[in-house]
Amino acid sequence: MAAFAAYTIIGLSLGGIFSLAALGIVLIYRTTGVLNFAHGAMGMFSTFIAWQVFYGWSHPFWPGWLSTFLAVLAALIFAAGMGLFLEFAVFRWVRSREPVVKAVITIGVLLALQSAASLIWKNNQYHLPIYLAPQQWVWVVPVADVPIGANSIAIIVVALALAFGLGAFLRYTSFGRAMRAVSDSPTSASLWGVPVGKVGAVSWMLGSLVAALAAILITPFINFDTTSLTLLIIDALAAALIGGLVSLPLTVLGGFILGLLETYPTIWIQSIGFPRLVALVVILAVLIVRNPRGFSVAAK
Amino acid sequence: MTSRLMFRVLGALVAFALLARIPVGFDVGFKFDAALAVIWAFGLLSLVLLTGYVGQISLCQATFAGVGAYTAGMMVSSADVDYLVAVIAGVVVAFALGVIVGLPALRLRGITLAIVTLGIALVFDRYIFQDHAFEWFTGGTGGWRVGQATMFGLRMDSSTHLMAAYLVLLALFCLVALLLVNLHESGAGRRFRAIRDSELAAATMGVNLTRYKLLAFGMSAAIAGMGGSFYPLVAGSVSPQPFWLFTSLQFAAIAVLMGVRYVPAAALGGAFMAFVPDVLTRYGHGTFMGHAYEISYDWFQIAVGVLLIVQLIALPDGVWGDLRSRVRHARSAAGAVGGRRVKVA
């Protein structure tokens, strides 16, 4: 029972990360029509910026929280810049092309980012994870005797807060309304004076930020290197598909469900590859059960 | 035999004769690259059929090649059969897997199909090719070793008889490429292209979508698997690394980059994929103006990614397609083909 509860905590933390990553995918897909296969790679690159600041450049006499803060800040600034750069340098020029072409372009982005990171930070090397909260902060739930790390709580809280924050931003602010208008129909939105280009740039920036946050948060849970973070994309896509690539609340729910589904089998099956099979089965189930034509409504 | 077909057969024979002689004078490393180039060219050719002709997206072509490789490796290592039998087994298993992967494709298209095939490539990369549960298929962590193998009773192996393996591979590639070029205008090819242009219209015209989509996936996987099943022969062993997810992504990227609708682009792409990284790692280090530099394999993948982005923005039809249309344009401007000369009195 205690083991089951402990796995639930791990599953929920993983799920929080998946839903964060998926939120970025859904955001970018809805407003720009780009299904971003490079989402994991973008998060990976920003995470390595954080890693570099945290382990490479911070001074040993600084307090730990300062190093963490600076590392995350640097990663987020970099992520925002990368998102804007990709929008202005690449995706602005292909806005009117079919969704498939845009998706293939993101594969180019993925390959370039992954090998650039592997060039700088070496692919097969062990990298120490980045903890947002100190590892020693662990609470034990009195009834079930389950230890809960502060990191797990931070992940779940950040995921939920960002999901609700994004939802509120889209619903209650005028820029959020502009984004929703663009996601419904870019042509009519531009006729009503919505700055479609600006909306695209902001979505890329926000999506990239969320990807960076998700990738930084996941580092304590996986053996973190350039490929494993890039491959986070499949779990994020699975969660995003549960939300139909449209709905933010369903995406978050999907992320948590996927996290639990991927964690519980590891009680019995010791395999690094098995969770990927779970993700594939979830993707297939969602795509076969729901009418895939429904997705083309959101595709522009 | 029509004159067009004869022209194509002649072209394939000339290509074979030229390409067969190229690696002769070089060291064993380049001979290995040459054989590897043909293996990768098979993978790219499978995308010419699947994406270029039928319009289906797949990000798991290296998985099909890997399944062919592991099947052939298993047959030769454990049953010690003639390599021809191993290749046939590899192609058959890859075909079967292709049909299975084609099943979800009956309901999916475009990006959703890309997501599913990406998932399949990842599951094979991280789970089936690497997990202990599948050691009977993958031969454990060391993989299958193929020391001595015979094909048609001739000795062929990676160490001493690499050229023989290369010639067989090249001959097979020329044959399959010729068949694919001819498929384009055949009845099946027209049905394939009808599916690419509009599935709804194709179904309305009486094309059996289920049969032809599954056939396309099976044939494409068989082509990739044919190349892959030669991998143990050429490299001497099989490991998961050459057939991991990033090879699948590189296949998709390079096929699109070179021109996914054209058969010769596959050969060009295969050579690009095998030779460029090796040349980079061989000669890409030294000093330049007093600074030591080293160009590693990673630069190749960066270049592929960046070139793909630039190509999709600037030359949507790929490198080969762009060259082809330029040549056509120049020739028709010169009045050689198609340019109808109007007599002015």
Average pLDDT of chain B, as a whole number: 87
- Residues of chain B above pLDDT 70, percent: 94
What are the respective helix, strand and coil percentages of chain A, to the nearest 5? 75, 5, 25
**Contact call for B246 and A111, based on CB within 8 A:** yes
* pLDDT value of residue B192: 93
Per-residue pLDDT at A143 = 60
Q: Which residue of B has its CA nearest to A273?
A: B127
Length of chain B: 345
Inter-chain residue contact A105 with B108, CB threshold 8 Å: no
Residue B291: how many other CB atoms lie within 10 Å? 7
Report how far apart, in Å, the C-alpha atoms of A272 and of each of A21, B70, B123, B339 are. Answer: 20, 21, 10, 62
Contact in structure between B114 and B57 (CB atoms under 8 Å): yes
Contacting residues of A for B197, CB less than 8 Å apart: none
Q: Could you report the per-residue pLDDT of B220-278, keeping only the tens digit for each?
A: 999 999 999 999 888 888 888 899 899 999 999 999 999 899 999 999 999 999 998 88
pTM: predicted TM-score of the whole model, two decimal places: 0.90
Nearest to B272 by CA among B261, B293, B287, B257: B257
Return the pLDDT at B344: 54
Mutation for B interface: A87, A115, A266, most B CBs within 10 A: A115
Could you give the CA distance from residue B242 to residue B59 in angstroms, rounded to a whole number?
15
Q: In this predicted complex, what is the ipTM? A: 0.89
Neighbours of A154 (CB within 10 A): 17
Say which of B59, B111, B127 has its CB closest to residue A277.
Answer: B127
A269 to chain B: closest CA residue: B133
Residue A262 in this model has a pLDDT that exceeds 80: yes
pLDDT confidence of residue B342: 53
- Kindly state the DSSP code that residue A142 receives in the 8-state scheme: T
Nearest to A104 by CA among B298, B62, B307: B307
Which residues in chain A have Cβ-Cβ distances shorter than 8 Å to B300? 115
Min Cα–Cα distance to chain B from A104, Å: 7
Q: How far apart are CA A86 and CA A72, in angstroms?
A: 21
Q: Which tokens belong to A39?
A: 């989402």
Cα(A127)–Cα(A125) distance, integer angstroms: 6
Residue B7 banded pLDDT, cuts 50, 70, 90: confident
CB B33 within 8 A of CB B41: no
DSSP state of A244: T
Which of A107, A113, A284 best probes binding to B when mutated, by most B CB atoms within 10 angstroms? Answer: A107
- If you count residue pairs, one on A and one on B, with CB atoms under 8 Å apart, how many are there? 147
Dihedrals phi, psi of A222, to nearest 5 degrees? -130, 165
Our CA-based measurement puts residue A208 at a distance from the nearest CA of chain B, in whole angstroms, of 19
Taking contacts as CB-CB distances below 8 angstroms, the residues of chain A near B57 are 100
Q: Which residue of A has its CA nearest to B101?
A: A284
- Residues of B within 8 A of A223 (CB-CB) are none
In chain B, which residues have their Cβ closer than 8 Å to the Cβ of A38? none
Q: Rounded to an integer, what distance in angstroms lies between the CA atom of residue B147 and that of residue B139?
A: 15
Are A27 and A206 contacting, i.e. CB atoms less than 8 angstroms apart? yes
Distance of alpha carbon B150 from alpha carbon B154, whole angstroms: 5
| Whole-number Å distance between alpha carbons of A215 and B345 | 74
**In a 3-state reduction of DSSP, which class is residue B59?**
coil
Whole-angstrom distance, CA of residue A254 vs CA of residue B246 = 27
**Are B288 and B77 spatial neighbours (Cβ–Cβ below 8 Å)?**
no
Which SS3 state, helix, strand or coil, does residue B294 take?
Answer: strand
| B8 vs B6: CA distance, rounded Å | 5
Beta bridge partners of B150: B155
What is the Cα B30 distance to its own chain's centre? 19
Average pLDDT over chain A, rounded to an integer? 84
C-beta of residue B16 within 8 angstroms of C-beta of residue B174: yes
Asked if the Cβ–Cβ distance from B107 to A287 is below 8 Å, we say yes
For residue A291, the model assigns a pLDDT of 56
Q: Across-strand partners of B154?
A: B151
Smallest Cβ–Cβ distance between B104 and the set A116, A274, A284 belongs to A284
pLDDT of residue A256: 92
Q: Give the C-alpha separation, A289 to A245, whole Å.
A: 15
Q: Which of A250, A279, A259, A192 has its CA nearest to residue A7?
A: A259
User: Beta strands B285-288 and B291-294: pairing type?
Assistant: antiparallel
Q: Mind listing the pLDDT tens digit for each residue in A167-213? A: 888 889 988 888 888 888 888 888 888 888 888 899 999 999 999 99
Chain A residues near residue B118 by CB distance under 8 angstroms? 37, 233-234, 237
Taking contacts as CB-CB distances below 8 angstroms, the residues of chain B near A99 are: 110-111
pLDDT (tens digit per residue) in B66-114 = 999 999 999 888 887 888 899 999 999 999 999 999 998 888 878 889 9
B3 contacts: CB under 8 Å, gap ≥ 6: none
A227/B316 touch (CB, cutoff 8 Å), yes or no: no
Averaged pLDDT, B181-210: 90
Q: Do B253 and A105 touch (CB under 8 A)?
A: no
Q: Highest mean pLDDT: which of A85-89, A173-177, B24-28?
A: A85-89
The pLDDT of residue A124: 62
The position carrying tokens 């699109």 is B256
> Per-residue pLDDT averaged across B190-206, rounded?
91
DSSP state of B124: I
Residue listed under structure tokens 């973190």? A224
DSSP line for B94-118: HHHHHHHHHHHHTT--THHHHHHHH
3-state secondary structure of A59: coil
